[in-house]
A = this chain, B = another copy of it.
Amino acid sequence: MNTEILGLIAGGLTSIASMPQLIKVIKNKNVEDLSWLMLLILVTGLSLWVWYGIQQDELPIILSNSFAVIVNLALLVCYFIYKDK
């Protein structure tokens, strides 16, 4: 199989799997299961993966980790909006 297509399928699956948590948090406005520290570590790690993908010129890594950065930044924003509710 073409490696880029393999990476895009892999990235698609791991991206789909990250959505339910965001949907649940937005729906329930409940962030007690989230840790801002872990989200910050995760966003930092994912951003470094994007940088890695750019250095290696690998589109699947850039796309899937950029998507994950957006999802987890959204979770972080939800955390600070909903934490006192």
The answer to whether B48 touches A9 (Cβ under 8 A) is yes
Q: Which residues of chain B are near A44, meaning CB under 8 Å?
A: 13
Residue among A15, A41, A51, A58 having the largest count of chain B Cβ atoms under 10 Å:
A41
Closest to A58 in B: B56
Nearest chain B CB to A15's CB is how many angstroms away?
8
A46 at the interface (CB under 8 A from B): yes
A selection of 18 A-B contacts at a CB cut-off of 8 Å is: A6-B48, A6-B52, A6-B55, A7-B49, A9-B48, A11-B45, A11-B49, A12-B45, A13-B41, A13-B44, A14-B45, A15-B45, A17-B39, A20-B35, A20-B38, A33-B33, A56-B58, A61-B61
